[in-house]
Amino acid sequence: MIKQKDIDLLYDLVKLLKKYGPEAFESLQNLMASGELSGKIASLLTSLKVLEVKKPLISETTRSKRIEKLETSMEKQLSALKDSQPKKYSILEQFYRQAQARQILAARKDAENLALGLGLNVPKKASRESIIIRIVQQFSDLPQEQLESWIKKIVERSKSVQTLEEWAEVILKKRNDF
């Protein structure tokens, strides 16, 4: 069920969309997807005392080391494919790059759902990056045809997610129906 607060927020977004135009929103969406903006927003909100910063349970260096170990493990697994199955290697490498750029599996929840669909055990606090690495490792064991099928579905799913502009149209239509 959609809460009134959510509808109000989307309505305000529609007003901003009208004010600034879709190009500004697309530009903002690209900045947010690149991760470039998230750190700046967090520090701004923290400085304005809007966001309370909690110390992470695991230090960033520890987290980085864990990701590094997973990446190294994945790279070893993929390098074995590079010579024996270059096409499969290329598919997996492209998938990994797209996931890192958030062109696919943009949210942690998307990566988690895929991992669960593949039968992987996902710890509650696993990062998006570590989940993606585990997915790539799992994909490397699949036959190429099955791999291509999975990736095709993932790409189609990521393209079907509605844009902010499409959501704005839905909200405006609902507001006008009241």
pLDDT at 164: 58
pLDDT at 145: 93
pLDDT at 16: 86
pLDDT at 178: 47
pLDDT at 144: 92
User: What stretches in the chain show pLDDT beneath 50?
Assistant: 51, 178
Cβ contact 135:114 at 8 Å: yes
Cβ contact 103:109 at 8 Å: no
pLDDT at 170: 62
Tens of pLDDT along 80-98? Answer: 788 889 999 899 989 988 8
Nearest residue to 115 (alpha-carbon basis) of 67, 32, 107, 33: 107
Cα separations in angstroms, 107 against 17, 19, 35, 36, 154 = 23, 28, 12, 15, 13
CA separation for the pair 116, 110 (Å, rounded): 10
Domain boundaries, the chain: 4-54, 60-160
pLDDT at 79: 79
